[in-house]
Amino acid sequence: MRRWLFAPRTGGFLVFLVLAVALPFVLPNAFFLDVAILALFNASICVGLNLLIGYAGQISLGHAGFLGIGAYASAILTGTFGWPAPLALAAGAAASGLLAFAVARPILRLRGHYLAMATLGLGVIVSIVANTERELTGGPDGMAVEPLSFAGFVVEGEAAWYWLALVLLAATVWLTINLVDSPLGRGLRAVHGSEVAARACGVDTDRYKVIAFTVSAVYASVVGSLGAHYVGFITPADAGFMRSVEYVTMVVLGGMASTFGAVVGAVILTALPQLLSSFQDYEHLVFGLILMLTMIFLPRGVVPSCAALFRRRRAP
């Protein structure tokens, strides 16, 4: 029991849970809670994306596209067609999963910049469609989304949303850290280490990459649906290229191949623009600068770099 409790995997998860549960009681007001909810949502996406980027070593510059599919599916199906919210969410997730599964095999054969280009194209196409199909999506102005309701129960208020987002994140983190230690996770890491060697050892590399891509797309879609219900409004920019870049940045900044790194990266990069908004016009300038400096001085990401520092200190 003790060993189980102090293992980095489970212990880290418990520390994370305790911190997250305590957080709403120390936050001074609803504004901070709002930022915290967005951070939790982004963290869920990044944990999934980290499977693909950190573990399998494949980049995706189009994940906001899947988020957009989920968000618009929820918005249109509940708003225009009157579907129940969970069904709309499931439909969006299924659509994202199917699309990801269908394109994954030809796309993930590509490497490096070619893969970056292909995934980028996929995401940009989704946002262009959202921009153009005005009658369905409201075009560039975006569209309002109904509040999340299920069997007569409506999720309302920051507190309720915080717990919902936290449950979602805890579930994704728990699922992911177990996935990473399963044969699937070892397969993914083998793909990252050397695809040729992995294949020579009998690892079906294509299959593992397709799984990572599809799983991360479904995560993004579910978060997209919930996030749209929470914010109550979506625009094509939510599915755009810059948003995809933000998610990749969160993963890389937090630390690749570290599930908690992805969480930390998401929290930092969600909170930072809010703090920087007091700089007003200088916001982008400072944000770009921080991004560059972090990658120059902590190229492995915040969490792995700090962990290495900590370990070196402790060693005699």
Give the residue, chosen from 181, 232, 299, 308, that forms a contact with another protein under the rule CB under 8 A: 299
Cβ closest to another protein, residue 162 vs residue 208 = 208
Q: Which amino acid would we find at residue 193?
A: G
256: contact with another protein by CB under 8 A: yes
Measured from the CB atom, the residue of 159 and 285 that comes closer to another protein is 285
Q: Which of residues 33-92 bind another protein (CB under 8 A)?
A: 53, 57-59
Per CB under 8 A, the list member of 7, 109, 178, 183 interacting with another protein is 109
Stretch that binds another protein, among 8-16, 36-44, 128-136, 163-171 (CB under 8 A): 128-136
Which of 69, 75, 118, 190 lies at the binding interface for another protein (CB under 8 A)?
A: 118
Cβ nearer to another protein, comparing 225 with 249: 249
Residue 239 touching another protein (CB under 8 A): no
Rounded Cα distance, 12 and 4, in Å: 11
The nearest distance, CB 131 to another protein, in angstroms, is: 8
The window from 3-11, 27-35, 172-180, 291-299 that contacts another protein (CB under 8 A) reads 291-299
| 233 backbone dihedrals φ, ψ, rounded to 5° | -160, 140
Position among 288, 308, 309, 310 found at the interface with another protein (CB under 8 A): 288
Among 1, 3, 81, 112, binds another protein (CB under 8 A): 112
The least CB distance from residue 9 to another protein, in Å, is 24
- Rule CB under 8 A: choose which of 285, 308, 309, 310 binds another protein: 285
User: Smallest gap, in angstroms, from Cβ of residue 276 to another protein?
Assistant: 10
Q: Does 206 bind another protein (CB under 8 A)?
A: no
State yes or no: residue 284 binds another protein (CB under 8 A).
yes
Amino acid at 82: G
Report how far residue 210's alpha carbon sits from residue 100's, in angstroms, rounded to the nearest whole number. 8
Q: Select from 30, 98, 289, 308 the one that contacts another protein (CB under 8 A).
A: 289
DSSP string, the chain: -HHHHHSHHHHHHHHHHHHHHHHHHH--SHHHHHHHHHHHHHHHHHHHHHIIIIIS----S-HHHHHHHHHHHHHHHHHTT---HHHHHHHHHHHHHHHHHHHHHHHHTS-HHHHHHHHHHHHHHHHHHHHH-HHHH-GGG-EE-PPPEETTEE--HHHHHHHHHHHHHHHHHHHHHHHHTSHHHHHHHHHHH-HHHHHHTT--HHHHHHHHHHHHHHHHHHHHHHHHHHHSEE-GGGGSHHHHHHHHHHHHHH-TT-HHHHHHHHHHHHHHHHHHGGGGGGHHHHHHHHHHHHHHH-TT-HHHHHHHHHHHHH--
Query: How many Å from the N-terminal Cα to the C-terminal Cα in the chain?
Result: 29
Tell me if 269 contacts another protein by CB under 8 A: no
Applying CB under 8 A, does 249 fall inside the site for another protein?
yes
Q: Specify the residue, 40 or 122, whose C-beta has the smaller distance to another protein.
A: 122
Give me the helix-helix angle, 205-231 and 183-193, nearest 10°.
Answer: 110
Two structure tokens written together for 181: 């230690």
Instruction: Assess 120 for contact with another protein (CB under 8 A).
Output: yes
241 forms part of the interface with another protein (CB under 8 A): yes
Site for another protein in 134-193 (CB under 8 A): none
Rounded Cα–Cα distance for residues 38 and 31 (Å): 11
Q: Which residues bind another protein (CB under 8 A)?
A: 53, 57-59, 103, 106-107, 109-118, 120-122, 124-125, 128-129, 132, 195, 241-242, 245, 248-249, 252-253, 256, 281-292, 295-296, 299
